[in-house]
Structure formats: structure tokens, C-alpha cells
Amino acid sequence: MSEVRVEHRMSSGTTRQLAPAVIIRLDRMIQEKRQSGRNDKSSVGAEHTGMAHRQSKKAEDKPPRYKKTECSLVLDFSIFLVWRLTAMLILAINGSPDKSGNTAFLLSRVLEEAKANGAKVDMVHVVDALEDQDKPYCDACSSPCNRSCIDGTNLEQVFNLLEKADGLVLGSPVYFGTVSAQMKAFWDKSRCVRTEKILIGKVGGAVSVGASRFGGQETTVRTLHDIMLIQGMNVIGDGSAGFDAGHQGVCGQKPADEDKEAIKRAKIMGTRIVEEAAKSR
């Protein structure tokens, strides 16, 4: 019941960014407090019975409940304040060699909406991340990965950013029905991220853009999902509680700035990713 109420609060006005975990805990505590109030009253009526004696003996064993609850409320309120002051980070990874192309355009729409929902946002272009690599692909020089091509390079900085992120949006142009070579090389180079379990439990969505209407956007999204699943992430689609359940991800057609449906789905994904990331904070 309390979870249903949380969903409602989250989608309404100023309270939509409240930390659900804290709200659920507060709800439980209020219920506990009410329950303990009821128990106290019922034991007053049965004062002289043996049952009342047993109940009051039990009560003596435990410290007074209200004290614990009030302490917890203060603690939870402090956690809530800290949570409010440190906004979540939603990070987009652009797999296109074009840093201001169609993929970047749709990723920006997702981020815009995430920002409007209270998140900090940033975008990484894989071409920048791979720029200073001697070999722009993984040749499995060590197993497990000894980070020989990561440490001290752009990739190290990007992987540090992945660690800080609460949610990721992966975007790729459709290249022969799947992700770009650059996007694939970036993730092939992330074996250490997987070993170090940096992304486990983080939320992620996918965006793809092709030149054709049915040019392989869904298969590209599927590949992006596979990449995230193999990193242990929780994959979301392009639906949200306030709209509809959505489908696999944002699928756009070039020119993306004229694709109204893709822009709409990108905005929905921006809302959803913040909702989901908030639950796991």
C-alpha cells in the first residue's frame, strides 16, 4: 500500500523527487507508532488479567518504542537532506563519431528531461574516450584485464565517471543493423569495469538512430541492452508510470530533430531513468 502511495507522490509536483526508500521507511515507522499506540490502549483495558501482566512484562523487556522511532525519524530526515543535497548523476554515452549528430541530439533530449527532474547530467562521446588509445580495440593482452591501456588515459577518467553515475543512457547510430564500431570498442575495453562490478545494479536505457525507418534500430537497442546486462545493470525501456509502459528503447530516424515520436520517447526515458535511479539510491 505504502509503495502505491509513493508512486503517486513521486509523480505529483514538488514531492516527486522525494527519496522513495526514505518515504517507505517513514510510512512504516508511522504505522508502527500507530500500532504501538493501539497496543498500549488495549493493554490498559486488560489491566488486571494475567494476559495484561504477560504483555506488560514483554513491554518491560523492550526499550520504549517511541524513543527508537523518534531517533530513527531524525536520522532518516538527515539522510533525506543529504540525499536532496547530492543530486543524482545521469550519464549519456554517445557511440556516434559525430558529436553533434542525430544520436547526440536524442541523448540530449533524454538528459534535458532528467535534468528537469532534478538530476545532474553529463554526456561522454566514445570517440573522445578512445582518442588517446594506441589500439582502439581490445586485444585481450591480459586476462583478467590489468588495465594497461586504461590507467592514465581518457578511458580511466570516463570509467571513474561511470562509477559516479546513478544511471546511464547508451546511444548509438545504427551501423549495419547494430551498434557502431566505436561503441563496441569502448565496451570491449571495459572488461575491468565488469570485473570491478562498477555498474552492477545501476539503471540504464538505450537510444538508437538509423537513416531508414526500419533500419535496425530495435536490433541496435537490443545490443545496447545486452552490453548493459553483461555489466550487471538494470535495463529500462522508454515507458514511465505517468505515460505508458513503452517498448524497448528510443528508436529514431534521421533527421532526429524532425522525428517527433523519438523526441517524445526520449523525454519519457529521461523521466523514467530518474524515477528508477531514485529507487536504488
Three-point CA angle 205, 117, 250, nearest 5°: 25
Q: Residue 216 interacts with ligand FMN (CB under 6 A)? A: yes
C-alpha cell at 66: 517511541
CB of residue 165 to ligand FMN, shortest distance in Å:
21
**Whose Cβ is closer to ligand FMN: residue 73's or residue 181's?**
181
What are the DSSP E strand ranges found in 102-227? 120-125, 167-173, 203-210
Is the backbone of residue 81 left (phi > 0), alpha (psi -120 to 50) or beta?
Answer: alpha
As measured in angstroms, the least distance from the Cβ of 212 to ligand FMN is 4
Residue 33: partners with Cβ closer than 8 Å, 6 or more residues away = 65, 66, 69
Q: Is 209 in the site for ligand FMN (CB under 6 A)?
A: yes
Report if residue 96 touches ligand FMN, rule: CB under 6 A.
yes
User: Interface residues for ligand FMN in 251-270 (CB under 6 A)?
Assistant: 254
- What is the x/- site pattern for ligand FMN, positions 97-136, by CB under 6 A? -x--xxx---------------------------------
Which position among 10, 88, 126, 174 is part of the footprint of ligand FMN (CB under 6 A)?
174
Q: Where are the beta strands (DSSP E) in 102-202?
A: 120-125, 167-173
| Cβ-based neighbours of 101, under 8 Å, separated by 6 or more | 173
Nearer to ligand FMN, 114 or 251 (CB): 251
The secondary element (H helix, E strand) that includes residue 149 is none
Q: Tell me the per-residue interface mask from 25 to 64 with ligand FMN, x by CB under 6 A, - otherwise.
A: ----------------------------------------
Q: Which of 20, 204, 205, 210 binds ligand FMN (CB under 6 A)?
A: 210
What are the angstrom distances between the C-alpha of 117 and each of 75, 108, 276? Answer: 25, 14, 12
Could you tell me the smallest distance in angstroms from the CB atom of residue 101 to ligand FMN? 3
If the CB atoms of residues 32 and 98 are measured against ligand FMN, the closer one turns out to be 98
Query: Is residue 195 a contact point for ligand FMN (CB under 6 A)?
Result: no
Task: Respond yes or no on whether the N-terminal peptide bond of residue 255 is cis (omega within 30° of 0).
Answer: yes
| Residue from 75, 82, 200, 211 binding ligand FMN (CB under 6 A) | 211
Q: What are phi and psi of 173, to 5 degrees?
A: -70, 155
Chain positions contacting ligand FMN, by CB under 6 A? 96, 98, 101-103, 173-177, 209-212, 215-216, 254
